[in-house]
Chains A and B, each alone.
Chain A
């Protein structure tokens, strides 16, 4: 690993960030445990296990941070080196948009555009193939679930589906 991709005391140190997130989560879990009441060792309360799990999380996160600062770690950017980082980003965008649209638009009106976007944006499939797949796959699944298995899928504000 080169000096540029393996860093110690820098904000781009990826392990440091992982450790800090773990530490923050651990702190939150400890706080939640205390809030839920620890109880006593004879009669542990609802927060007992959470509290001690939070402490363990902080210990492990602390170990990760110490190791990141002493041994160094790859930079955040190097984790996405030589890969098509924009593709998963696009896919995440599509999934977030789908999750926002699912309830108001319903299953069919949200999943057909999702399929079309996935087929065209990531590794483009030709239109003549993408359109039939995008329409037929969700419609077919919708028909099987609704008609054969009697499972109600979200129909949205327009009542389609």
Chain B
């Protein structure tokens, strides 16, 4: 009953005209960046982070959330029609989605992807409404040791799932922690690694780091090769899937939704992992696995549902524990912090309007996305024809302006360019930036909790093992660290390892 009252309160907030407008802007921009290859939700969210300052916290966070789940919808359009993933979570949709389009079944592929996404998004929201308050009440009992161990686990899971060698991913995470510690020490107020520059006293901003590593570096990589686009030119019809399509897709949508939701909750997991896991699961369960890769609708329905459910599930650790499970949620945490809010166990009780308003807006956003993605498909197809040689200078211009506006400081533009160049060379040498960014956000929180727990326990390291939740997290992290040393587990890791940042 309480949940229903809270949901009604949330809809009261989300249906305010200004919040509806921000929600629409968010899902529209999300679909746009999902459709356009070369710019993803991370770049778009960091670009728009400063814009959230202009309105209420609800409006800003509603918009940011809209960009995230909107991009999950939009990404499938590019994968199906052009065979280029609009964003990383849609990589797997290219395999069967584009084959369906080539066989003249672009309509059903787009249709099932939109409906599957809608169903998964709705399920994820209902689960979020039911799980989040319960988890928040448990999380109140968390001490610094639990928080520290949970963050360690989150980082280890992300490094485990990152493409390439694990030592490289762990090295990136360590660099991220160090970068996050630049500036004044929160306990002793001593400047650290500032090299005497006043601009570094407050630390390096999240926006220039993310824009550099994901925006500028991505553009640098894309300019290496002329992007060829094999756009399906035939008229897209029959967007509503047939009875047979629904029959084939019902199982994959259901399984993808549940799998995606749970993978989304896990620290370090996310939409990309979920979509690949769902594809692998459907292929394994199928009686005719040989159809996969040749236009099987299950290969579109499952992963697209999974990535949307994961996008919803990822809000749980952020909202209830204050720990972002992936880079996108780290940016959303940035939006909370900009408004002086701290997501965590007390958010739901202290700011019920904000929490339930965001949840309700996500449901409204999902409906908006269904409307945006099906009838307006022609418009998105036209947009895909915008040449990349015109698009990338505009992306560079937007990143420069976005970074400058976030702090009104030219120094941040230099930081972004430096990280852009570093990010390009990192990618070329096989170092993924996602662990670095997550560690950059978690680093100061980890240090704080580690020092607090050491002070509280009077230097007794057993405190991390004596507390059950902390112990479980550390044991799980240890298992993941050891796993790549075992050949059979290494092979499995390589199968699921992904380019989270693309």
Contacts and interface: CB of A to CB of B under 8 A. Distances in A.
Interface in B139-197: 165, 167-168, 170-171, 174-175, 177-178, 181, 185, 187-188, 190, 192-193
A32 B181 CA distance: 12
Interface string A63-101: 110010000000000011001110110011001101100
B429 interface: yes
B392 interface: yes
Given A60-B174, A88-B220, A119-B390, A79 B455 contact: no
A42 B226 CA distance: 57
Main secondary structure of the interface of B (DSSP, over half): helix
Contact of B397 (A102, A137, A154): A137
Contacts of A22: 171
B451 interface: yes
Nearest to B452: A44
Contacts of B174: 26, 53, 56-57, 60
Interface size class of A (residues with CB under 8 A): 35 or more
A157 interface: no
Interface in A110-161: 111, 114-115, 118-119, 122-125, 129, 133-134, 137-138, 141, 145, 149, 151-154
Contacts of A48: 451
Nearest to B185: A46
B168 A118 contact: no
A91 B167 contact: no
B397 A42 contact: no
Nearest to A115: B393
Contacts of B446: 49
B428 A80 contact: yes
A11 interface: no
Contacts of B464: none
A138 B398 CA distance: 9
A45 interface: yes
B196 to A, nearest CB: 13
Interface stretch (B15-23, B277-285, B336-344, B414-422): B414-422
Contacts of B393: 114-115, 118-119, 133-134, 137
B190 A36 contact: yes
Interface in B425-466: 428-431, 446-447, 450-451, 454-455, 458-459, 461
Interface stretch (B307-315, B327-335, B399-407): B399-407
Contact of B167 (A14, A64, A151, A153): A64
Contacts of B170: 56, 60
B410 interface: yes
A83 B224 contact: yes
A152 to B, nearest CB: 7
Contact of A49 (B167, B190, B421, B447): B447
Interface string A20-55: 001001100100100010001111111111100110
Given A99-B413, A111-B400, A152-B408, A45 B192 contact: no
Contacts of A44: 450-451, 454-455
Interface size class of B (residues with CB under 8 A): 35 or more
B394 interface: yes
A18 B429 contact: yes
B219 A91 contact: yes
A60 B170 CA distance: 7
B458 A125 contact: no
Contacts of A98: 400, 417
Contacts of A141: 397-398, 401
B96 to A, nearest CB: 28
B288 interface: no
24 contacts: A18-B429, A25-B178, A42-B454, A46-B192, A48-B451, A49-B451, A50-B181, A57-B175, A63-B167, A64-B165, A79-B428, A80-B428, A84-B224, A84-B226, A87-B224, A88-B424, A92-B220, A92-B421, A102-B410, A119-B390, A122-B389, A123-B223, A125-B390, A151-B408
Which 6 pairs from chain A and chain B are nearest by CB? A123-B389, A41-B459, A118-B393, A42-B459, A83-B224, A60-B171
Given A32-B192, A88-B223, A141-B398, 18 more contacts: A15-B430, A29-B178, A36-B190, A41-B454, A42-B458, A42-B459, A43-B454, A53-B177, A57-B175, A60-B170, A95-B420, A102-B413, A111-B400, A115-B393, A125-B389, A151-B405, A153-B404, A154-B410
